[in-house]
Amino acid sequence: MRMNKQAQHLIAPTFVRITHWFNAIAVVVMIMSGLKIYNASPIFNFMIPREITLGGWLGGALLWHFAFMWLLVANGLVYLVLNFLTGRLWKKFFPLSLKAFVQDFLNTLKGKLSHEDLSKYNTIQKLAYLSVIVDLIILVMSGLAIWKSVQFPMLREVMGGFDNARVIHFIAMSYTVFFIIVHLIMVALVPKTLLIMIRGK
């Protein structure tokens, strides 16, 4: 009975916390190694400072990138499947409404968005988390279109061709970086959220 009461007080179940930290590691390593890969063949008229890249050389960066790609994919599948099976996906991220979004957006601009009940996401949080889930799926799909372009011709064509897949991959990566920056700012403003991802409550 006592264990059931403790479980009810958990805001972030064990599987959410574990997959969150594995995902954080995988994403950071993939971004840094991906930037090194980008520098080997830039698609835009700029280079990334080597201090924030990982791998040392192209071959090393590719090894890091592919190794942590498998962690990202496996960890993401575990997260999505368990969220779906436990019903957490619908409970935490839905419903969504335009009215609630407008209200939360206005409260954010006024600095009055409430963070008292951390067991519930506001509409902006719901959309942010859902958007980054979709973004990571696009990252994986566009990455496959680049890595296995010959083996997945249909996926390559959906992406608009090899070169366009590289552009999509870079833009999706940029959105992930943006999300991480905003996420860290919000954690700094509401430090209790970090405790939840460590202790679960």
| 118 inside domain | yes
Question: pLDDT of 62-105, one tens digit each?
Answer: 999 999 999 999 999 999 999 999 999 999 999 888 998 898 88
pLDDT at 113: 72
Number of structural domains (the chain) is 1
Its domain, for residue 155, covers 9-199
| 1 inside domain | no
pLDDT at 153: 92
Distances from the Cα of 7 to the Cα of 10, 91, 95, 119, 139, angstroms: 5, 16, 24, 13, 34
Yes or no: say if 200 and 10 are a contact pair by the CB < 8 Å rule.
yes
User: In the predicted model, is pLDDT for residue 5 greater than 60?
Assistant: no
| 103 inside domain | yes
pLDDT above 90 covers a percentage of the chain that reads 72
pLDDT at 9: 61
Cis link prior to 95 (omega < 30° from 0)?
yes
| 16 inside domain | yes
Q: What is the 3-state secondary structure (H, E, C) of the chain?
A: CHHHHHHHHCCCCHHHHHHHHHHHHHHHHHHHHHHHHHHHCCCCCCCCCHHHCCCCCHHHHHHHHHHHHHHHHHHHHHHHHHHHHHCHHHHHHCCCCHHHHHHHHHHHHHCCCCCCCCCCCCHHHHHHHHHHHHHHHHHHHHHHHHHCCCCCHHHHHHCCCHHHHHHHHHHHHHHHHHHHHHHHHHHHHCCHHHHHHHHCC
Where does residue 31 rank: exposed (0-12), middle (13-18), buried (19+ CB within 10 A)? buried
| 2 inside domain | no
Give the CATH number of the domain where residue 153 resides. Answer: 1.20.950.20
pLDDT at 138: 97
| 4 inside domain | no
pLDDT band at 108 (very low <50, low <70, confident <90, very high): confident
Question: pLDDT of 125-150, one tens digit each?
Answer: 999 999 999 999 999 999 999 999 99
| 3 inside domain | no
pLDDT above 70 covers a percentage of the chain that reads 94
| 175 inside domain | yes
User: What is d(CA 68, CA 28) in angstroms, rounded to the nearest whole number?
Assistant: 10
Yes or no: say if 32 and 25 are a contact pair by the CB < 8 Å rule.
no
Question: pLDDT of 147-197, one tens digit each?
Answer: 999 999 999 999 999 999 999 999 999 999 999 999 999 899 888 888 888
| Nearest one of 59, 74, 75 to 23, comparing CA atoms | 75
